[in-house]
Amino acid sequence: MRQSKLLVTTLREAPAEAETASHQLLLRAGYIRMLAAGIYTYLPLGRRVLRKIENIVREEMELTGAQEVLLPSMLPAELWKESERYEVYGKDLIKLQDRHEREFVLGPTHEEVITALVRGEISSYRRLPVTLYQIQTKFRDERRPRSGLLRAREFLMKDAYSFDTDWEGLDAAYVLMYEAYQRIFARCGLHFKAVQANAGAIGGEGENHEFMALSDIGEDTIAVCSACDYAANLEQAEVNRPAAAVHADLAERAAMEKFHTPGLRTIAQLEEQLQIKPEGIIKTLIYEGDGKAFAVLVRGDHEVNEIKVAKAIGVNEVSLADYSDVLAAAGVESGYVGPVGLQLPLVIDAAVAAMAEGIAGAGEKDYHLRSVVPGRDFPLEHVADLRNAVEGEACPKCGNGVLHFHQGIEIGHVFKLGTKYSEKLGATYLDASGRSKPMIMGCYGIGVSRLLAAVAEQSRDDEGLIWPESLAPYRVHILQMSAKDTEQTALAEELYGELTRQGIETLLDDRDERAGVKFKDAGLIGIPVVLVVGKSAGERKIEYWDRRSNAKEVISSAEALSRIIAAHRK
Amino acid sequence: MRQSKLLVTTLREAPAEAETASHQLLLRAGYIRMLAAGIYTYLPLGRRVLRKIENIVREEMELTGAQEVLLPSMLPAELWKESERYEVYGKDLIKLQDRHEREFVLGPTHEEVITALVRGEISSYRRLPVTLYQIQTKFRDERRPRSGLLRAREFLMKDAYSFDTDWEGLDAAYVLMYEAYQRIFARCGLHFKAVQANAGAIGGEGENHEFMALSDIGEDTIAVCSACDYAANLEQAEVNRPAAAVHADLAERAAMEKFHTPGLRTIAQLEEQLQIKPEGIIKTLIYEGDGKAFAVLVRGDHEVNEIKVAKAIGVNEVSLADYSDVLAAAGVESGYVGPVGLQLPLVIDAAVAAMAEGIAGAGEKDYHLRSVVPGRDFPLEHVADLRNAVEGEACPKCGNGVLHFHQGIEIGHVFKLGTKYSEKLGATYLDASGRSKPMIMGCYGIGVSRLLAAVAEQSRDDEGLIWPESLAPYRVHILQMSAKDTEQTALAEELYGELTRQGIETLLDDRDERAGVKFKDAGLIGIPVVLVVGKSAGERKIEYWDRRSNAKEVISSAEALSRIIAAHRK
């Protein structure tokens, strides 16, 4: 392709709305353009990268034996009502009516449609298992679209769904998909981790893993063991539960004592003003779940993990009570709430249960209690793991390593859905003895367009993007320094012709622009090998610029060709 | 692929809503399923065919130098208001609001988006021309979705847009695209015609051609010359205008005479009851356009072409007045309206103007007039070509051949848009002397999913579908007659393995089903070469079934392999 013909306009500055590096560079280098918040056009360079990702995903899906389908985007609302997600999904779900006022949604995911499809196609165990996938546009009306393709409202996904007769079959399908994901992300040149994760709105209680591209701008925190292979989303990461404390001396311990703490409502204030260590404080937080208030107790140096709390009390979601609700439920303003004498159910983190004694709110404005003994001064009826893991603590799996934290961008997710959808939508099969059973499902997603941005986020430098070979829009970028120099034209055209004949995708910068502009644009666009045809063209010498190492060396054009062709054949 | 694993369920009967053969067969053979009216899922077989069409389209687009982009489906309504199509498009346009109540439409076509994109990217003549294309899902809320993929509400299209500095450039882009379309449809094995067409709602006054797949179920009628290359949509087909009649003897001709025609309101009734030939009758029809009524005069044996009428009077659309409106406008009920003394503008077809005399409504209930002389008894002020061509009449281009009529399915359309969108949306460039000018645009569409159905409609027999090599979901279908026969298993697996190693896509029917079921399904599915591994497997003999000719012959498995491999290498 000749750059003079290519629809690529590089920008000196990124538009103000672009905050992350990948978003800025994809805009500046002319890969994407915003049409509306969270809605993007792919220009020719961006489309080429997207297509390469699609091809890798498709190849690896086919290798697992998954079969490609294409489901619609306009989905009858009834299906979503059947699965009970029409309301649950909230405002992220885009709803519309057709000309006859029939209700539809734009598919943000396709569990309902695929389950309804398979229930119509398959009725016998003999036609299972089957795994279906598609690469398709999804719609999700994000409250706050951001970071370009990383959190968009219209985006490209690969979604796959497996259907099995038993859990062993699901396990096998899951492993196949998990391994395919490892290969896909490796082929895309990503640094990533597969981590244990929480199911979220998609539901199902089964095992699931997220694939996280490691990046400081990632919105997820993941905990990774320094010694074993344990890695989990912080939302999900278990913690080593301390051995239940044995307090044989309960009776001999000092009695509780109230003390005056005017205006000291936070852990930080108690620490600063009274030199009390946070790990010696019992933090009492009022939550609501399913319309009922309850208290969660964690140590002062720990954070409540709301997903764990919700699981512990068996509801979908919990939320922290606001000031007035705390006052109404606990009879005292927040900051002075404590477990002693509190007329609310107590849900207690294991680390609190293990404390010999601690300081807690007194349930009375401007007072705290010291020498509060768990199990003596308040009951230890409901103890569970309710807190986030803390960086540096021991690994919950091996116990030897310690947990390190990383930020990650979720690029893939594999789920054991089980029978959640097959039961709701009636996707059953007859087993060998003629009994009707629900199919056992898994679902497996990759954010194809998000993956593009994740690679851009990881693979760049001050000059611009640096694509891995596998995804680069072109493999070689020839820069002809002077468009009017006949020797340069001859050599540049010769190289361009030869590479093209070899089937190596090449972009030739034949524009009548200054050398500085061409270097700057090549740096931004990020094709991995750049050949600079300049003053030494008459001696058949060019500069070979390895965009990854940024090493530049002057070599003969023949040497450059043979290097590139050799690398291409590998 | 092993058929025992493939998600394909054949149906004995097509669902009642399927009327056309392609729709019935694509459903019965397990290529597609309906999710809602006009909204379809592509099952694995259908997805494979669709992908082959996409690949052919993409290859041919790349050969023209067009660059692939991907535009969003969710489009801000403002853009459509800028182009003034937001209202014009009517109920076919699917409208929605996001969570912030901002208005969007689901793109049925992308002139607005691409024009707005290019106006932002290109400002100088030096970066033109450029042609961009995409393969993408479109949404059009058809009033009456029908014939499966032929008239769907969600469908796959290839749309391309060219941007030039001058009309010669547009002509060149148009020819490139026209020729690419010829190659695409030929590669898909279609019988088709490129015909002159009407621009319709997409607008623009320029030249445009439709590509029509010939088929009895096509909703378009096309007129094709028996001698020259003339072919036009009937909507658009010109007719040879008769030489203006010279009626020197106007004064000597018989005077008009009123006669009684009680209850004879139609041409057919006049012909039947009074033996009046239709070509001797002047038909007077009341139309409305832009809120005004007027009369259209055509010969009794001719049909009004509403598109020609609208063009002749300079409005977007005209519609036939209903009974009460005719009465109000003409003062007499329809059937007796005539041009003599009528207080409405007359728009007269050239064939009427050329009549020496004729019979017309008298403008009075139950009466007609005979010996009505055009130009004497009513004025010939507005004469134009207003009628549909008639099968068998002389070609308007060469005059030698006669017109034959065919039915066609529109599968592609190429348009010279000119500056309609670039002016409305401000897509201008600076020419070499620094003057700002609107870009000259063309647009070029192919109904990718409709094309699939058009091929199915053309290529089938009583047993089922018959795919051309280029689009077949698999190239070879091996039927193993008995799943339990070890000799058959050995030979079927050997053939399957060898073909797969050769890169020839093969479907192996390894199901434990009766031979009759396998033959029936193979007939339905329509893979072009079927190898039947049956009783002669021990002698390494198979039946070679050419699905196109339906010839079956027993040959050695080696001979079958070498035939298939030789054909594949061509």
Residue of A nearest to B153 (CA): A74
Read off the pLDDT of each residue in B264-287 and give the average, rounded to a whole number.
Answer: 94
Distance CA B31, CA B431 (A): 51
Question: How crowded is residue B273: how many other Cβ atoms within 10 Å of its Cβ?
Answer: 12
| Tokens encoding B470 | 């280029």
> Which residue type does B495 have?
L
Residue of B nearest to A112 (CA): B35
Q: Which of A335, A365, A384 is the last residue of a domain?
A: A384
Torsion angles phi and psi, residue A376, rounded to 5: -105, -50
Distance CA A327, CA A289 (A): 17
**A560 in the same domain as A506:** yes
| Tokens encoding B7 | 């998600």
pLDDT at A69 over 80: yes
Contact A544, A527 (CB under 8 A): no
**A523 in the same domain as A452:** no
Contact B456, B479 (CB under 8 A): no
**B171 in the same domain as B49:** yes
Average predicted confidence (pLDDT) for chain A: 94
Q: Is the peptide bond preceding residue B129 cis, with omega within 30 degrees of 0?
A: yes
Query: Treating both helix axes as pointing N-terminal to C-terminal, what angle do A167-187 and A44-63 enclose, rounded to 10 degrees?
Result: 140
In a domain, B148, yes or no: yes
Q: Is B172 on the interface with A (CB under 8 A)?
A: no
Per DSSP, the three-state class of B425 is helix
Find the CATH number of the domain harbouring A350. 3.90.960.10
Residue of B nearest to A37 (CA): B76
Check B68 against A74: CB less than 8 A apart: no
Find the CATH number of the domain harbouring B106. 3.30.930.10
Read off the pLDDT of each residue in A409-417 and give the average, rounded to a whole number.
Answer: 96
Which chain B residues are Cβ-neighbours of A117 within 8 angstroms?
33, 41
Summarised one tens digit per residue, pLDDT across range A140-165 is 999 999 999 999 999 999 999 999 99
Read off the pLDDT of each residue in A532-557 and give the average, rounded to a whole number.
Answer: 97
Sheet holding A358-361, edge to edge: A257-260, A367-372, A358-361
Summarised one tens digit per residue, pLDDT across range A460-488 is 999 999 999 999 999 999 999 999 999 99
Q: Which of A7, A142, A449 would you mutate first to test chain B, the one with the most B CBs within 10 A? A: A7
Checking phi first, is residue A552 left (phi over 0); if not, alpha (psi -120 to 50) or beta? Answer: beta
B:505-534 residues touching chain A, CB 8 A cutoff: 512
Residues 6+ apart with CB under 8 A from B333: B265, B323, B326, B327, B365
| Nearest C-alpha neighbor of A2 from the set A566, A496, A428 | A496
Check A132 against B48: CB less than 8 A apart: no
**Gap from B46 CA to chain A (nearest CA, Å):** 8
Of the listed ranges B87-91, B402-406, B486-490, the least confidently predicted one is B87-91
What is the sign, positive or negative, of the torsion defined by CA atoms of B117, B119, B120, B122?
positive
Helix%, strand%, coil% for chain A, nearest 5: 30, 30, 40
In a domain, A431, yes or no: yes
In this predicted model, which residue has the larger pLDDT, B478 or B17?
B478
Give chain A's domain count: 3
Check B35 against A75: CB less than 8 A apart: yes
Model confidence band, residue A201 (pLDDT cutoffs 50, 70, 90):
very low
**A437 in the same domain as A484:** no
Q: Is B432 on the interface with A (CB under 8 A)?
A: no
Residues 6+ apart with CB under 8 A from A195: A209, A210, A211, A212, A222, A223, A224, A231, A232, A233, A236, A408
pLDDT of residue A30: 98
* Cα end-to-end span (Å), chain A: 23
Average predicted confidence (pLDDT) for chain B: 94
**Gap from A524 CA to chain B (nearest CA, Å):** 17
pLDDT of residue B17: 83
B:309-368 residues touching chain A, CB 8 A cutoff: none
Of B68, B72, B95, the CB nearest to A47: B68
For chain A, percent of residues with pLDDT exceeding 90: 88
Read off the pLDDT of each residue in B501-526 and give the average, rounded to a whole number.
Answer: 97
In a domain, B242, yes or no: no
pLDDT at A241 over 80: no
pLDDT at A203 over 60: no
In a domain, B50, yes or no: yes
Which chain A residues are Cβ-neighbours of B6 within 8 angstroms?
67
In a domain, B198, yes or no: no
Q: Is A55 on the interface with B (CB under 8 A)?
A: no
Check B7 against A73: CB less than 8 A apart: no
| Nearest C-alpha neighbor of A554 from the set A541, A535, A537 | A541
Of A39, A96, A121, the CB nearest to B94: A96
Check B44 against A96: CB less than 8 A apart: no
Question: How crowded is residue A163: how many other Cβ atoms within 10 Å of its Cβ?
Answer: 27
**B334 in the same domain as B428:** no
For chain B, percent of residues with pLDDT exceeding 70: 97
Summarised one tens digit per residue, pLDDT across range B102-159 is 999 999 999 999 999 999 999 999 999 999 999 999 999 999 999 999 999 999 999 9
Summarised one tens digit per residue, pLDDT across range B36-79 is 999 999 999 999 999 999 999 999 999 999 999 999 999 999 99
**B55 in the same domain as B177:** yes
Of the listed ranges A248-252, A513-517, A562-566, B2-6, the least confidently predicted one is A248-252
**B48 in the same domain as B140:** yes
pLDDT of residue B246: 61
**B38 in the same domain as B177:** yes
Check A65 against B5: CB less than 8 A apart: yes
Contact B107, B71 (CB under 8 A): yes
> Which residue type does B560 have?
A
pLDDT at A376 over 70: yes
Residue of A nearest to B114 (CA): A41
pLDDT at B244 over 80: no
**Gap from A51 CA to chain B (nearest CA, Å):** 10
Q: Is A124 on the interface with B (CB under 8 A)?
A: no
> Which residue type does A341 have?
G
Which chain B residues are Cβ-neighbours of A76 within 8 angstroms?
35-36
Burial A232-270 (b: 16+ CB within 10 A, else e): bbbbbbbbbeeeeeebeeeeeeeebeeeebeebbebeeb
**A565 in the same domain as A500:** yes
| Nearest C-alpha neighbor of A449 from the set A9, A15, A148, A217 | A148
Torsion angles phi and psi, residue B142, rounded to 5: -55, 140
> Which residue type does B312 have?
A
Burial B416-425 (b: 16+ CB within 10 A, else e): bbbbbbbebb
Find the CATH number of the domain harbouring A541. 3.40.50.800
Residue of B nearest to A130 (CA): B5
Read off the pLDDT of each residue in A266-292 and give the average, rounded to a whole number.
Answer: 93
Distance CA B6, CA A130 (A): 8
| Tokens encoding A60 | 């690896």
Residue of B nearest to A95 (CA): B96
Q: Is A209 on the interface with B (CB under 8 A)?
A: no
Per DSSP, the three-state class of A555 is strand
Residues 6+ apart with CB under 8 A from A330: A286, A295, A337, A342, A344, A363
pLDDT of residue A254: 86
Task: Please give the residue range of the domain that contains residue B170.
Answer: 21-188+421-456
Contact A360, A381 (CB under 8 A): no
* Residue carrying the six token digits 């829009």: A473
Q: Which of B332, B363, B384 is the last residue of a domain?
A: B384
In a domain, B467, yes or no: no
Model confidence band, residue B228 (pLDDT cutoffs 50, 70, 90):
very high
**A549 in the same domain as A501:** yes
**Which stretches of B164-214 are DSSP H helices?**
167-187
| Nearest C-alpha neighbor of B25 from the set B538, B454, B375, B327 | B454
| Tokens encoding A267 | 């852990």
Of B44, B69, B104, the CB nearest to A41: B69
**A293 in the same domain as A164:** no
| Tokens encoding A157 | 């996904």
Helix (H) or strand (E) holding B491: helix B486-501
pLDDT at B202 over 80: no
Check B65 against A5: CB less than 8 A apart: yes
Q: Is A40 on the interface with B (CB under 8 A)?
A: yes
Distance CA B351, CA B369 (A): 19
In a domain, A446, yes or no: yes
ipTM of the complex in this document: 0.91
Give the CB-side neighbour count of residue B364, counting CA atoms within 13 A.
Answer: 10
pLDDT of residue B201: 44
B:80-119 residues touching chain A, CB 8 A cutoff: 91, 94-96, 98-99, 102, 104, 106, 113, 117-118
B:259-288 residues touching chain A, CB 8 A cutoff: none
Distance CA A129, CA A164 (A): 5
Residues 6+ apart with CB under 8 A from B166: B440
Beta partners for residue B444, in sequence order: B160, B414
Distance CA A331, CA A371 (A): 22
Read off the pLDDT of each residue in B351-371 and give the average, rounded to a whole number.
Answer: 95
Read off the pLDDT of each residue in B239-260 and give the average, rounded to a whole number.
Answer: 77
**Which stretches of A339-388 are DSSP H helices?**
350-353
Distance CA A453, CA A335 (A): 43
- Residue B372 vs residues A218, B210, B383: alpha-carbon distances, Å: 85, 41, 17
Check A95 against B95: CB less than 8 A apart: no
Per DSSP, the three-state class of A13 is coil
* Cα end-to-end span (Å), chain B: 23
Distance CA B477, CA B534 (A): 14
Beta strands in A115-233 (DSSP E): 130-139, 154-164, 192-196, 208-214, 220-225, 231-233
In a domain, B548, yes or no: yes
pLDDT of residue B248: 63
Residues 6+ apart with CB under 8 A from B501: none
Residue of B nearest to A142 (CA): B99
**A487 in the same domain as A445:** no
